[in-house]
């Protein structure tokens, strides 16, 4: 060991790109002749030629008698120099960072200065370019010195945590799962601003975001969004943004006592069809949804080019997933003759729901009917007819049966009565 350190301190052994990893058995006696001092977890060699940083790791192996310790040292002496190369027209000087002459030991910075500045603007450019260049060099030195340590240089962290959130979504996006993206949208709506630093994300803010989700959304949505938010913060902690995860003790919650959306039975279908509606376009569009399971967001912009001979082919607005649904003959009759443009000319969603409420009231239905009830009813009626969950999920545009099981499957009194009748009698 002493010979190695002496060799490193000798002039002929000094190299700009020294990065040596030593694995050895320590001596039984303390080593006092290496001329090394301890400085905050580092061992720094006193040398007139260079400074070597030794990152000390705990002993990872020892025998029962403790006579030999296996110790891992990292010796790093990486002098990063700034080199330059003129452009082909000899007007610009391009700069590089290099730490050796071998392949891969030079990195282009993308920074240039004017060789002969012609005006004050180009002179100012040269001054600022050199400042940026020196900053890049310092950042690279910090990157090298932080190797094998828990410290993350600040220049590697994004100032706006929302940018980190967006990058995490891009790196972890899954087909058919929008919860990560929608959780970011909900977080931005909660903040009501486009910038927040990591230091401003506290446990109180996390609790506030959770409560906002519970007020804003129903069912499992608040829990789903907040769990994705916690996942991002957990990753950010590993990347050095937090020393302690601010959301660690904040539990995701869902709205269990939500108001279930109404569903329409076959009798309700008939009663509505036999009742006049104040807006015929709303009536046509709603019944069309009853027979296709389409969302409001897909029915309103539906165009004739999406209507094929026996099916509808479209890209869902909410998910961006392609969907093809076979058309019932009643749905084809409701659509009418093929024309140009939109299939239905509908008002706003709020306006349409007001029309539906009046229509249900005129039909003597004691139910709160909204447009989404058509989609729920479509799902439940198909399940009543014995259609398997996978087929129902596919017709609704879901990629899995999870949401059909959790959201669309409702307790039906008629089914319960039929089930009771199957019990044996005395």
Full 3-state SS string of the chain? CHHHHHHHHCHHHCCCEEEEEEEEECCCCCCCCCCEEEECCEEEECCCCCCCEEECCCCCEECCCCCCEEEEEEEEEECCEEEEEECCCCCEEEEEEECCCCCCCEEEEEEEEECCCCCHHHHHHHHHHHHHHHHHHHHHHHHHHCCCCCCCCHHHCCCCHHHHHHHHHHHHCECCECHHHHHHHHHHHHHCCCCCCHHHCCHHHHHHHHHHHHHHCCECHHHHHHHHHHHHHHHHHHCCCCCCCCCCCCCCCCECCCCCCCCCCHHHHHHHHCCCCCCHHHHHHHHHHHHHCCCHHHHCCCEHHHECCCEEEEECCCCCCEEEEECCHHHHHHHCCCCCCECCCCCCHHHHHHHHHHHHHHCCCCCCCCCHHHHHHHHHHHHHCCCCHHHHHHHHCCCCCHHHHHHHCCCCHHHHHHHHHCCCCC
Is the model more confident about 317 or about 36?
Answer: 317
Looking at residue 9, its pLDDT comes to 43
Same domain, 406 and 327: yes
Same domain, 295 and 410: yes
Looking at residue 30, its pLDDT comes to 40
Same domain, 316 and 200: no
Same domain, 321 and 292: yes
Number of domains in the chain: 4
Percent of the chain with pLDDT over 70: 73
Q: Looking at the predicted structure, is the pLDDT value of residue 19 above 80?
A: no
pLDDT tens-place string over residues 318-355: 888 899 999 999 888 888 888 889 999 999 999 999 99
Looking at residue 339, its pLDDT comes to 87
Q: Looking at the predicted structure, is the pLDDT value of residue 390 above 60?
A: yes
Looking at residue 275, its pLDDT comes to 92
Same domain, 271 and 413: yes
**122, part of any domain:** no
Same domain, 328 and 208: no
Full-model pTM: 0.51
Q: Looking at the predicted structure, is the pLDDT value of residue 73 above 50?
A: no
**260, part of any domain:** no
Average predicted confidence (pLDDT) for the chain = 78
Same domain, 342 and 405: yes
**120, part of any domain:** no
Same domain, 71 and 102: no
**249, part of any domain:** no
The lowest-confidence range among 147-156, 179-188, 217-226, 278-287 is 147-156
Same domain, 293 and 401: yes
Same domain, 307 and 380: yes
Q: What is the CATH number of the domain that holds 320?
A: 1.10.443.10
Looking at residue 149, its pLDDT comes to 57
**424, part of any domain:** no
Looking at residue 217, its pLDDT comes to 87
**154, part of any domain:** no
Q: Looking at the predicted structure, is the pLDDT value of residue 71 above 90?
A: no
Q: How far apart are CA 289 and CA 418, in angstroms?
A: 28
Q: Looking at the predicted structure, is the pLDDT value of residue 383 above 80?
A: yes
Looking at residue 156, its pLDDT comes to 57
Confidence of residue 258 (pLDDT cuts 50, 70, 90): low
Domain encompassing residue 104: 81-113+127-145
Q: Looking at the predicted structure, is the pLDDT value of residue 60 above 60?
A: no
Mean pLDDT calculated for residue range 352-376: 92
Same domain, 222 and 270: no
Same domain, 191 and 57: no
**401, part of any domain:** yes
Percent of the chain with pLDDT over 90: 42
Confidence of residue 254 (pLDDT cuts 50, 70, 90): confident
**12, part of any domain:** yes
Handedness of CA 240, 241, 246, 247 (dihedral sign): negative
Confidence of residue 70 (pLDDT cuts 50, 70, 90): very low
């Amino acid at each position: 060991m002493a010979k190695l350190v002496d060799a490193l301190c000798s002039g002929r052994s000094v190299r700009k790109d020294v990065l040596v990893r030593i694995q050895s058995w320590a001596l039984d006696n303390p080593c006092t002749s290496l001329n090394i001092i301890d400085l905050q977890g580092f061992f720094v060699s006193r040398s007139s030629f260079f400074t070597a940083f030794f990152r000390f790791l705990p002993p990872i192996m020892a025998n029962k008698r403790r006579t030999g310790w296996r110790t891992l040292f990292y010796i790093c002496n990486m002098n990063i120099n700034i080199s330059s190369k003129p452009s082909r027209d000899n007007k610009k000087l391009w700069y590089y960072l290099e730490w050796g002459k071998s392949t891969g030991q030079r990195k282009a910075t993308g920074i240039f200065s004017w060789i002969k500045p012609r005006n004050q603007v180009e002179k100012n450019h040269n001054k600022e370019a050199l400042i940026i260049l020196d900053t890049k060099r310092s950042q690279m030195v910090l990157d090298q010195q932080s190797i094998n340590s828990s410290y993350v240089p600040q220049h590697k962290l994004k100032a706006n945590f929302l940018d980190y959130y967006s990058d995490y979504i891009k790196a972890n996006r899954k087909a058919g799962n929008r919860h990560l993206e929608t959780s970011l949208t909900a977080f931005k709506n909660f903040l009501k601003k486009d910038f927040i630093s990591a230091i401003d994300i506290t446990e109180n803010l996390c609790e506030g975001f959770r409560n906002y989700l519970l007020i804003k959304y129903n069912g499992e949505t608040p829990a789903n969004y907040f769990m994705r938010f916690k996942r991002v913060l957990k990753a950010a902690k590993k990347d050095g943004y937090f020393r302690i995860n601010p959301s660690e003790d904040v539990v995701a919650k869902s709205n269990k006592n939500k108001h279930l959306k109404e569903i329409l039975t076959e009798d309700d279908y008939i009663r509505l069809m036999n009742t006049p509606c104040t807006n015929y376009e709303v009536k046509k569009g709603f019944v069309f949804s009853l027979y296709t399971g389409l969302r409001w967001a897909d029915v309103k912009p539906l165009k004739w080019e999406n209507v094929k001979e026996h099916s509808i082919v479209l890209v869902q607005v909410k998910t961006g997933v392609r969907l093809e649904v076979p058309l019932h003959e009643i749905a084809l009759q409701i659509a009418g003759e093929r024309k140009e443009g939109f299939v239905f000319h509908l008002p706003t969603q709020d306006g349409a729901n007001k029309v539906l409420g009046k229509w249900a009231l005129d039909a003597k239905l004691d139910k709160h009917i909204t447009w989404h009830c058509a989609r729920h009813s479509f799902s439940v009626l198909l399940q009543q007819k014995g259609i398997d969950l996978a087929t129902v999920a596919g017709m609704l545009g879901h990629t899995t049966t999870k949401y059909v099981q959790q959201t669309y499957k409702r307790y039906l009194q008629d089914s319960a009565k039929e089930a009771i009748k199957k019990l044996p009698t005395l």
